[in-house]
Structure 1
């Protein structure tokens, strides 16, 4: 644990360095960042690289709003609240996001500031005298930049492709690059960082304990495989994933709950995570406070009931008899200070002990070994057979004491596709996978329309609350301009978020996504 503190001490130094460029950081995201004259030796470039990792926290702090809330895993706790933050969450929940949406803009700006940080390092990488360190730092920032662009292109479609620092005028004259061009840069960065299967990239395979959490070649290969899977380049994805499975040393932990234990961070299942540090250093995780029940006493400071588990997700765990994962992911009730039992679900996956509000220890896991197995299952189902996909799914299921699935249970490719979809949902709930999964498999419309039309809210003071249940989305129908006589519908243009209006205003060559 002490080694982690050393690592974050370096991060704090890096943040101090970047604070000298505060005037730039507060400007529009496609802009200059810092002065090249600072970066003159190995130590300074390493500090700048660590600052790139630090910038990922600003993204993960917001990403759940744009992904989990826009999936059938979650909904807003109070459906008709007038609180400004909850109003904006309701817009995300309903796919009615406005171009001035504050959290959408915050994510966009954080992404481009982080990309700019990466570009600063790449622009100055030549000052590093140690050849091995030079390769490592370049590989790290290419991995980080690719990860950010991968999320951006899935959330926004065509985006601004910025691979070097720009002047204000250059930034304001940019046009959005095609999805294909963005993916080419993502793939190029990850190939350079991690190498193809059997080849060596810039990144090392592992680090000593002092540097746990830095991107490895295996992280780059796993992310690249997910990119290939998204693009339906199945053969390339399978080759990389098989390499990770056979040679990386990562494996499923024996107990599901141990994956998320703050005393077991960066364990052998976690391939890459965005790291947080509790203790009043300004590096703590906010998710325990964000997700704990409002007016509860389960965490230090305030709690907000954001990202409330949907009734459908609860029923999915119960129907599967999936007690182990459900008990880690969520609580379906809680006891308040007066001893009253409240039948309101909340996400418990990020609960830990901490003293200050928004200062938990929990890392945000981006890639883990269970994902490798279930991606392989998806590829085998698409390219080979149900029988070839089953062992990967069953390895994940057996870890949580669920029976193996047999071929007779999933006789067709479609049946197996739905089984993998369900397994991914139950395994990765509230890890920001569900929206991307449904988008990748062309299932977003069908699943979300069912969610809109079937999601109920139950009585919150009775275990038998279903007798007083009501259709949740019926209470927010006024927000849904596309409500039809047959129920809620979802148009394809709503899959993409709007480019923030603040960007469209200054970037004169930029176009807005259709429908906004």
Structure 2
């Protein structure tokens, strides 16, 4: 990533043809930020640029920031959920490394995700720095809150996948646009706690400065939901504080009766959706191609296919309706793909299917998790109980009166497959090493505990200056040295 006092922004008519939540900015380029962001209207374009970076470029070139379009690799494929259709055949070595727990520091996909999230952070900082310079800052409360929400979201994803607490290493903390004299900040890892302090501060600001007007933009309820996750993820998890934030999620969100309707391209931004990232059909700049890759109609032989382990367990325990929608058995080699990301685009590689980040089922299951706390079982009772059992019954399962920790972990696996939650869930529950080592052994893969955390990308290490001891300033995760 590169931080400077100048920004070249290409506004791409972002998302807006399919998601009326977004403004429709005119293209601008080669803009010097301190001359450009002078009004609330101009800052609004800056916020749209952050979403544009998060959306990512529909491209197969890893020099382009792909944003969340490559996130499934670091969450689903680096787990027991997904693999490639034809391992080691037509797919790049980079893709296969996620499947068999051998991701190297020079992995181009990992480097792309890392730089994409820091791009989001950088553009958020551009907006936030500009807000501080304008006289009428009181009128910019929403803009500030939205930028801080997006910065926190990017950092939350990064710290969970690249930060580790060994030797108190977190990530470089960049909370403003850096000058040339401050360049070393982007190569200096701070403690994990400092990163989480910023994440919490930013999401709290978002709960105060946002409402629930939008589903494809940051919202108050989305910020509260993320805060609940954060408080259950940090060391010494605070389940009581998580419940406080879950109680603040707006009552107008609701579970749909039919599981398949959640993901229907004709039913986007439905009542179950809290926060999604929008794409536009047949639009070169605003579409996504991961749907095509999942179905092996893109440039690879197919990625993010269900593992044999998941397919068997989902078929036996996940519920008939989830099975029908998650397992698309139309492959001549009995490889199972998901139907969640189907599209009505004329070109599968220019799909407009939105990516759902948060939906109300997540809130309901987080209630169960927070009420369980550090115990291994919880009674299904209270305000969330009926909704928890509705999630099960709409999946084709029976209602329950108690849930164990292992049952909740499995329930989330079946409910959210291919929604980029599996690795984050395993880490939050503290079972990533246990679950993935067993899966790797059964699959014939080598695995060690370090592989639940990705290495800092080599290109970032190579760009790092030397410290006063003549050593590379950007420290690699200890198990990857």
Relative to the length of structure 2, the TM-score reads 0.85
By how many angstroms is 1:110 displaced?
A: 0.9
Maintained 8 Å contact 2:22/2:217:
no
Q: Is the 8 A contact 1:8 1:277 kept in 2?
A: no
2: CA distance between counterparts of 1:140 and 1:306? 33
Q: SS in structure 2 opposite 1:206? A: coil
Hey, what does 1:20 align to over in structure 2? 30
**Does residue 400 of the first structure (1) align with residue 405 of the second (2)?**
no
- Alignment CA distance shift 1:141-1:315 (3 Å): same
Moved more, 102-111 or 424-433: 102-111
Structure-2 separation of matches of 1:249 and 1:8: 21
* Unpaired runs of at least 5, structure 1: 22-33, 195-200, 295-300, 335-340, 411-415, 456-472, 478-487
Aligned to 2:460: 503
Separation (CA, whole Å) in 1 of partners of 2:281 and 2:451? 37
> Which residue pairs with 2:479 in the alignment?
515
Aligned residues: 436
Check if 1:328 corresponds to 2:325. yes
Partner of 1:238: 243
Instruction: Say whether 1:220 aligns with 2:220.
Output: no
Structure 2 distance, partners of 1:492, 1:383, is 22
Matched position secondary structure for 2:276? strand
1:222-255 CA-partner distances (Å, limit 9, x unpaired): 11111111121100001111222xx431110111
Is contact 1:352-1:360 (8 Å) kept? yes
Cα deviation, residue 302, structure 1 = 5.0
Q: Indicate the SS of the match to 1:68.
A: helix
8 Å Cα contact 1:331-1:348 kept in structure 2: yes
Matches within 5 A, 1:337-486: 341-382=332-373, 386-388=378-380, 391=385, 393-407=388-402, 416-455=404-443, 473=444
Gap change, CA 1:10 and 1:133, over 3 Å in 2? farther
User: Per the alignment, in what secondary structure is the counterpart of residue 358 of structure 1?
Assistant: helix
| 2:87 is the alignment partner of 1:79 | yes
**How far is 1:454 from its partner?**
2.4
Change (3 A) 1:96 1:134: same
Q: Is the 1:380–1:388 Cα contact (8 Å) retained in structure 2?
A: no
Distance 2:201 2:292 in 1: 38
1: CA distance, partners of 2:212 / 2:320:
35
Match status 1:67 vs 2:75: yes
The answer to whether the 8 Å contact 2:265/2:344 transfers is no
Query: 1:451, CA displacement in angstroms?
Result: 1.5
Query: What SS does the corresponding residue of 1:99 show, helix, strand or coil?
Result: coil
**1:156 aligned partner:** 162
Aligned ranges for residues 8-47 of structure 1 at < 5 Å?
10=24, 13=26, 16-17=27-28, 19-20=29-30, 34-47=32-45
Aligned-partner Cα distance in 1 for 2:127–2:325: 39
* 2:194 is equivalent to residue 206 of structure 1: no
Query: By how many angstroms is 1:279 displaced?
Result: 2.7
Deviation digits for residues 12-64 of structure 1 (CA, Å, limit 9, x no counterpart): x3xx33x426xxxxxxxxxxxx5311111121110110111111122211111
Structure 1 partner of 2:302? 305
Match of 1:51 in 2: 49
Q: State the SS of the aligned residue for 2:373.
A: helix
Q: Which residue of 1 aligns with 2:316?
A: 319
Give 1:103 shift. Answer: 0.8
Change (3 A) 1:280 1:342: same
Q: Does the 8 A contact of 1:41 with 1:127 survive in 2?
A: no
1:303 CA drift (Å): 5.8
Deviation digits for residues 412-456 of structure 1, max 9, x if unmatched?
A: xxxx0011011000000010111111111121122112212324x
Picking from 267, 274, 294, the partner of 1:291 is 294
CA contact (8 A) 1:291 1:346 kept: yes
Select the structure of larger CA radius of gyration: 1
Q: Is the 8 A contact 1:226 1:237 kept in 2?
A: yes
Given that residues 128 and 134 in structure 1 are in contact (C-alpha distance below 8 angstroms), is that contact kept between their aligned partners in structure 2? no
CA distance in 2, matches of 1:351, 1:149: 29
Paired with 2:181 and 2:241, the residues of 1 have a C-alpha distance of 40
Structure 1 residue 332, shift from structure 2 partner: 2.2
- What CA deviation, in whole Å up to 9, does each residue of 1:250-283 have, x standing for no partner? 1101111111111111111111111111132510
